[in-house]
Amino acid sequence: MSIISDSLKRIKPSPTIAVTQKARELRAAGKDVIGLGAGEPDFDTPDNIKDAAIQAIKDGDTKYTAVDGTPALKKAIVEKFKRENNLDFSLDQITVGTGGKQVLYNAFMATLNKGDEVIIPAPFWVSYPDMVLLAGGKPKIVKCDEKDGFKLTAKKLKKAISKKTKWLILNSPSNPTGAGYTKDEIESLAKILIKNKNIHILSDDIYEHIKYDNFNFFTIAQISKLTDRTLTMNGVSKSYAMTGWRIGYAAGPKDIIKAIGKIQSQSTSNPSSVSQAAAVEALNGSQDFIQERSDAFKERRDFVVNSLNNIKGIRCLTPNGAFYVFPSCKGLLNKKTKLKTDSDFVQKLLEKANVAVVQGSAFGLNGYFRISYATSMENLKKAMERIKSFCESLS
């Protein structure tokens, strides 16, 4: 009899983490590998945030805190939602976790029963389906077409809803595509959701501040008739370059927030006290650097999109936000190239060109691959040259 639980057998390791680890191993072995798999800003955490953490240590702010976040951080989160999203929450509607991933995991563990369905638009962040499976739920994957900008339409949402539907996940701007939902698109989905009163919405807004071309961010909790059914998750990892600090948060219905706290009390307990102090400064301090860094990301995005679209067999949409592109490699999957799947393409690209990317099938859509351009222009220029040479060698 195996000691490993049946629930663990239902999931797989994170493909994005696996690609990043493979790139590290190859570099350690002396290979000149360019890793474009990690969803991590290459910028450093701003000095004012670091200083707040150092001061917290000096002040002895190194003890246990309230399980789901300090009052100071919860207050900063409440003020953030009011200031940036025109949303009003009380402190008991806020939870803080060890990264956004834990907040999402806790939410599913706290709310899903066996057989409950969660609608997940594809392409999706790789962890959504596995989290649902671990919690005993059933992922209902809805494939979103490239012609629709990889976004869920009202028609597809309506078709996917059943009596067992408990959650819809919305991620905007999206990982892996960078696609952002406009206010009109969200309102179109909202019309369907308002009529289906048993469905809750999990809005993953982690890339809220990384947006381009005057894209106006709008989150579904701003639809007043859905505010009480929406759990809005965010964090400091992407916008503030604080991935290693591990602070995520969410706002939503009191009963869900309380249930999330109960789960957390029996798992990790509170997030790091020092990281929470740093997050207070991140949310309350100067936000000027965010636009500067978004401008740098936009320059990289434009370069990568233009470079990819000049490679025969590759096609790439221009994303609204985040720091990913999701190009199609379907034009290179044929008998002549001997590549049958996007996984074949990604594997050969790593073997022959020393460029690490992630296959689109890991995100629920075959025939594509994800590139993270959260790295230097120097690395991106080398990578694009290698990708182009590799693709040309196939013909």
Q: Do domains 6-44+289-394 and 63-284 have the same CATH topology?
A: no
- The helix/strand/coil state of 162 is coil
CA–CA separation, 318 and 213 (whole Å): 10
Regions of the chain with pLDDT less than 70: none
pLDDT attached to residue 8: 82
Q: Please answer whether residues 353 and 393 qualify as being in contact, where contact means their C-beta atoms are separated by less than 8 angstroms.
A: no
Give the tokens for residue 117. 């369905």
**Distance of alpha carbon 39 from its chain centroid, rounded?**
8
Give the tokens for residue 121. 């638009």
Burial of 312 (0-12, 13-18, 19+ CB in 10 A): exposed
Task: Place domain 6-44+289-394 in its CATH homologous superfamily.
Answer: Aspartate Aminotransferase, domain 1 (3.90.1150.10)
What class has domain 63-284? alpha beta
Geometric angle at alpha carbon 393, from 391 and 394, rounded to 5°: 70
pLDDT attached to residue 301: 98
Global pTM reads 0.96
pLDDT attached to residue 6: 83
pLDDT digits (tens, 9 = 90+) for 259-309: 999 999 999 999 999 999 999 999 999 999 999 999 999 999 999 999 999
Strand segments (E) across the chain: 34-35, 94-97, 117-122, 138-143, 165-171, 200-204, 230-235, 248-251, 324-325, 355-356, 358-359, 369-372
Domain boundaries, the chain: 6-44+289-394, 63-284
Burial of 303 (0-12, 13-18, 19+ CB in 10 A): middle
